[in-house]
Amino acid sequence: MSEKMFEPGITAGRLEASAYADQFSDLHPPLDLHEALVAADRCYFCHDAPCITACPTDIDIPLFIRQIATGTPDAAAKTILSQNIMGGMCARVCPTEQLCEEACVREIAEGKPVKIGELQRFATDHLQQQGKHPFERAAPTGKRVAVVGAGPAGLSCAHRLAMMGHDVAVHDARPKPGGLNEYGIASYKTPNGFAQAEVDWLMQIGGITMQTGSTLGAEITLEGLRADYDAVFLGMGLGGVNALGAVGEDKAGVLDAVDFIADLRQASDMAQVPIGRDVVVIGGGMTAIDAAVQAKLLGALNVTLVYRRGRDRMNASVFEQDLAASKGVRIVTNAVPVAVHGNGAVREIEFEYVDADMQGTGQMLRLAADQVFKAIGQTLQGDALPALEGRKIKVDAEGRTSVAGVWAGGDCASGGDDLTVTAVAEGRDAAMDIHKTLVG
């Protein structure tokens, strides 16, 4: 038992030094060859398969599984990557239990779907670990496209455009490319530097320049990009974070969950990352779960996730909720924060229970907290953007914005469901429409 286990406040090294590697190891260790063959054997090769329909990127899942089963994993990888260039990351982070695996007929038949996500990882890892890039650029078109944001949407768009023969300049505000793949996903979902390795592998297509530390509205402007390039794709995601609206939320120790997750991903030694003894996470999506689980993994004694509605309304999948529960996270529902208490730094956070219509019940809950993570949604940042729909950039089915020559996709654009895989699909589809527009 570590001596710091019960220490109040925010401190690093709550666990024995040797414990961190295990805590943050791969959530789903990769299938070995035997496991992959056994898993692949279960696929029925359905006609017009429901799993394909359920995949936002329309990967031909029965075909790639058959290719694994017949001993050609690299052909399987090409089947995956031709539809979804970030098939490696999606294999790790997709909520498959709500997508392909939920639709699998063996889920209906036996309650046990084919392990599509893990098989996808088997195939893509097999190809990518050899450093092979299976696509080649078409003859140069002489057209130049700017892509803002090096996350899943931007990189997917950039790769497809480069493949079609265009020259692509990618700009990203952060020091490293990858977007949420690099900064926004729990460490145990993509360990061992996979996000950067995937970007490097993707860039092998050629024809893409990467400019990091380049923020829209600062180093670059939409107006300037429109003047310098034949087309612009906006895929910069959501840079802002919603406020709690609770009294005292400016106290020390009240932090954005996305920053906590990003810090963890960039940390070279988890033992150096400070964490509270009593941690409260507010929110009900993947970000909230990722923050809560990792707080627990870092050694927080008590981690409570508080969501304003019922469990059935949480954006986090049942799998994610169960994962959090299995790690010891307590989930409280139907409660909204009203006040953060403490002298300078948070000591307690107070909630009011609400009914199904979000009306206060007068019943209160106070939780000890030396650290509070807000994960109640992110917002679009920036001025001089194309017209919005709600709080996001309005796009049509092809990803076109209100401004001629400007497309958008991923979390910053309207529609979609804020998943990596939908961002990849939107980037890819916008690229095809840009290509059609530029070369006719």
Partner 1 sequence: MADLRSEFVGIKSPNPFWLASAPPTDKEYNVRRAFEAGWGGVVWKTLGIDPAVVNVNGPRYGAIYGADRRLLGLNNIELITDRPLELNLQEIKTVKRDYPDRAMVVSLMVPCEEEPWKYILPLVEETGADGVELNFGCPHGMSERGMGAAVGQVPEYIEMVTRWVKASTRMPVIVKLTPNIADIRKPAEAAQRGGADAVSLINTINSITSVDLDLFAPEPTIDGKGAHGGYCGPAVKPIALNMVAEIARDPGLAKMPISGIGGVTTWRDAAEFIALGAGNVQVCTAAMTYGFKIVQEMISGLSEYMDEKDMTSIDQLVRKAVPNVTDWNQLNLNYIAKAKINQDLCISCGRCFAACEDTSHQAIAMDDDRVFSVIDDECVACNLCVNVCPVEECITMEAMTPGVTDPRTGKTVEPHYANWTTHPNNPAATAAE
Angle at which helix 152-163 crosses helix 420-439, to 10 degrees, equals: 30
| Choices 81-89, 103-111, 150-158, 236-244 (CB under 8 A): range interacting with partner 1 | 103-111
| Choices 44-52, 115-123, 231-239, 317-325 (CB under 8 A): range interacting with partner 1 | 44-52
The least CB distance from residue 55 to partner 1, in Å, is 16
Q: Which token pair is 77? A: 């990888």
- Compute the distance between CA of residue 147 and CA of residue 225 in angstroms, rounded to an integer: 9
The least CB distance from residue 110 to partner 1, in Å, is 9
Considering only 5, 9, 28, 44, the residue that binds partner 1 (CB under 8 A) is 44
Other beta carbons within 10 angstroms of residue 326's beta carbon come to 9
- Compute the distance between CA of residue 160 and CA of residue 142 in angstroms, rounded to an integer: 15
- Compute the distance between CA of residue 41 and CA of residue 128 in angstroms, rounded to an integer: 23
Residue closer to partner 1 (CB basis): 75 or 354: 75
> Based on C-alpha coordinates, what's the Rg of the chain?
22
415 Ramachandran zone, left/alpha/beta (phi>0; psi -120 to 50): left
Listed residue (199, 208, 200) closest to 162, CA to CA: 208
| Choices 46-54, 140-148, 245-253, 329-337 (CB under 8 A): range interacting with partner 1 | 46-54
Residues 50-79 that bind partner 1 (CB under 8 A): 50
- Is the dihedral angle over the CA atoms 115, 116, 121, 124 positive or is it negative? positive
- Is the dihedral angle over the CA atoms 333, 338, 343, 345 positive or is it negative? positive
The least CB distance from residue 78 to partner 1, in Å, is 20
Residue closer to partner 1 (CB basis): 51 or 231: 51
Considering only 17, 21, 33, 38, the residue that binds partner 1 (CB under 8 A) is 38
DSSP state at residue 414: S
How many residues form the binding site for partner 1 (CB under 8 A)? Answer: 15
Residues 108-127 that bind partner 1 (CB under 8 A): 108-109
Other beta carbons within 10 angstroms of residue 407's beta carbon come to 30
DSSP state at residue 29: P
Considering only 37, 75, 271, 354, the residue that binds partner 1 (CB under 8 A) is 37
The least CB distance from residue 45 to partner 1, in Å, is 7
Please tell me whether residue 106 binds partner 1 under the rule CB under 8 A.
Answer: yes
206 Ramachandran zone, left/alpha/beta (phi>0; psi -120 to 50): left
The least CB distance from residue 50 to partner 1, in Å, is 7
Please tell me whether residue 41 binds partner 1 under the rule CB under 8 A.
Answer: yes
Please tell me whether residue 335 binds partner 1 under the rule CB under 8 A.
Answer: no
Please tell me whether residue 32 binds partner 1 under the rule CB under 8 A.
Answer: no
Considering only 31, 49, 86, 300, the residue that binds partner 1 (CB under 8 A) is 49
Q: How far is CA 223 from CA 125, 213, 417, in A?
A: 40, 19, 28
- Compute the distance between CA of residue 363 and CA of residue 372 in angstroms, rounded to an integer: 21
Please tell me whether residue 33 binds partner 1 under the rule CB under 8 A.
Answer: no
How many residues in total does the chain contain? Answer: 440
Residue closer to partner 1 (CB basis): 46 or 262: 46
Considering only 105, 339, 345, 432, the residue that binds partner 1 (CB under 8 A) is 105
Residue closer to partner 1 (CB basis): 41 or 269: 41
Q: What is the binding site for partner 1 (CB under 8 A)?
A: 37-38, 41-42, 44-50, 105-106, 108-109
